[in-house]
Amino acid sequence: MPLLIKNGRIITATDDYHADIYCQDECITQVEASIDASTLPKDTEVIDASGKYVFPGFIDPHVHIHLPFMGSNAIDDHESASKAALAGGTTTLIEMICPGPNDEPMTAFHEWNNMAAQLSAVDYTFHMAVVRFDELARQQLTQIVNEHGIASFKVFLAYKGALNLNDADLFDLLAMAKDLGVITTAHCENADAIDAMQSKLLAQGKTGPEWHEPSRPVCIEAEGVNHLAAFAELTGAHVYAVHTSCAAAVQAAVAAQLRGVNIWVEAVAPHLTLDETYAQKPSFDGAKYVMSPPLREKSNQQTLWGALNSGVISTIGTDHAPFNFIGQKDMGKDAFTKIPNGIPSVQERIDLIHTFGVLTSKISLNTMVKACSTKAAQLFGLYPRKGAIRVGADADLVVYDPKHKHTPGVDTSYSRVDYNAFDDFELTGRASIVTVRGQIQARDGEFVGTVGRGKLLKREPNHY
Ligand code: URP
Ligand code: ZN
Ligand code: ZN
């Protein structure tokens, strides 16, 4: 059905103006100061966006949905995660395909893609994690890029003995990524250093969730970013440091950027809004706040916001990784090293950034759109189909009420996780209408769309 959004304040990464938007056949077909509804087809749905913002659909460049990890499986599926995304204004998800070290990349690609194709209510693509790099993997990864349109890799410098890639393979993979024109995203923490620190702390009887941060302090993450940057410098590959949590890691990235390394930086909603004191909560409650890199000392947030403002950090994702408190996080009751890592926030991201970034004047509305949508589209080969409000772009739009107040909670969350990490926050702002390719998929925090409507977004490599 055609859609007319009238009287909204359109906010993109660069512009801020009042206009009407007309959408037909899944795309934006007109953006004009005033569009007369009486000239449009009779079945056009008209949305009055007076007093509201109209954003391009938000893109989350870092989510985990199907995730076999740390002896468990993340508890969302593509239905619950994509409903949560939509309720919060996110219309495109980029999920990490994380196979085990013995799995074939092509098998993993089909496994993840089949699940998403059946249940996703948002459009989606993947970063292909490389956890082995032999000849078979080299061939299959090339096919995954060239035939299936997955134009980004993921590597883990952390998680020793599980997802971690060794340096020889990292070098060869980045050399191949450079040839393919593919950007490589990376979890930057030194696996061996963490392993040693974990053993030391456990041997001292330091077993609670509050010891997770000390087991992987900021110097370990900064070393990881520097390590990735050095390999990018040697190979000429383009790289992207995911979920950067602290000033030391940002500084390592800036040092690399200043010497000409093509490195981009991502922040995620939990690090911007929560700090290490949450993981120190008593009675094992801190386990809800165990993620990697860990929540940090609060002053790091100032650097993250400042780096977003200056453009040193390009994107804001979530690293949505949902594990229940009961039955999953509590596997680590006797040792923090067994707590499945992750803090889900795919539904809350935009309202968190609006409340704690925009309304406190740390970043502008344009920067919020840039970091939460447009820049991810540009870096990952989705632009201008996604991340833009312009004629010809997909009609992925968010009509946003900047005044609505709400407190997140398990009762209003579509994620299946049994706790909400943000339930002591009052958030200001909420997506009133969310469209994916011209169809309304969410209204006022409720999913009203079609499960399985999401499409795989094939992408061309764009990092030569
Ligand atoms: O704690 C996290 N981040 N869990 C998900 C896996 C990862 O490292 O991204
Ligand atoms: Zn990670
Ligand atoms: Zn992650």
Maximum distance among all Cα pairs of the chain, rounded to whole angstroms:
75
Can you give the pLDDT at residue 98? 98
CB of 158 within 8 A of CB of 415?
A: no
Any atom of ligand 1 within 6 Å of the Cβ of 187: yes
Any atom of ligand 1 within 6 Å of the Cβ of 341: yes
Best probe residue, ligand 1, of 185, 319, 337 (max atoms within 8 Å of C-beta): 319
Can you give the pLDDT at residue 418? 98
Integer Cα distance of 115 and 104 in angstroms? 17
Confidence of residue 444 (pLDDT cuts 50, 70, 90): very high
**Mean of all residue pLDDT scores within the chain:** 98
Q: In the predicted model, what is the mean pLDDT of residues 209-225?
A: 98
Any atom of ligand 1 within 6 Å of the Cβ of 342: yes
Confidence of residue 61 (pLDDT cuts 50, 70, 90): very high
- Within 10 Å of residue 363's Cβ, how many Cβ atoms? 21
% of the chain at pLDDT higher than 70: 100
Instruction: Please report, to the nearest 10 degrees, the dihedral formed by the alpha carbons of residues 256, 261, 262, 267 taken in order.
Output: -10
CB of 73 within 8 A of CB of 108?
A: no
User: What is the residue with the minimal CA distance to atom 9 of ligand 1?
Assistant: 319
Q: In the predicted model, what is the mean pLDDT of residues 360-387?
A: 98
Q: Given the structure tokens 């989510």, which residue do they identify?
A: 63
User: What is the residue with the minimal CA distance to atom 7 of ligand 1?
Assistant: 292
Tell me how far the alpha carbon of residue 341 lies from the centroid of ligand 3, in angstroms: 9
Tell me how far the alpha carbon of residue 395 lies from the centroid of ligand 1, in angstroms: 31
pTM score, two decimals?
A: 0.99
Q: In the predicted model, what is the mean pLDDT of residues 70-86?
A: 98
Can you give the pLDDT at residue 436? 98
Integer Cα distance of 369 and 365 in angstroms? 6
Integer Cα distance of 349 and 273 in angstroms? 10
> Residue 116 belongs to what H/E stretch?
helix 105-119
Report the sign of the C-alpha dihedral through residues 316, 326, 66, 184, in that order. Answer: positive
Residue type, 440: I
Confidence of residue 103 (pLDDT cuts 50, 70, 90): very high
Any atom of ligand 1 within 6 Å of the Cβ of 329: no
Any atom of ligand 1 within 6 Å of the Cβ of 319: yes
Can you give the pLDDT at residue 381? 98
Tens digit of each residue's pLDDT (9 = 90 or more) over 294-309? 999 999 999 999 999 9
Confidence of residue 128 (pLDDT cuts 50, 70, 90): very high
Tell me how far the alpha carbon of residue 159 lies from the centroid of ligand 1, in angstroms: 10
Any atom of ligand 1 within 6 Å of the Cβ of 292: yes
DSSP symbols for 136-188: HHHHHHHHHHHHH---EEEEES-STTTTBPPHHHHHHHHHHHHHHT-EEEEE-
3-state secondary structure of 405: strand
Q: Given the structure tokens 């090339």, which residue do they identify?
A: 142
3-state secondary structure of 447: strand
- Within 10 Å of residue 446's Cβ, how many Cβ atoms? 12
Integer Cα distance of 53 and 251 in angstroms? 34
CB of 232 within 8 A of CB of 264?
A: no
Can you give the pLDDT at residue 263? 98
Q: 1-464 adopts what CATH topology?
A: TIM Barrel (3.20.20)
Confidence of residue 147 (pLDDT cuts 50, 70, 90): very high
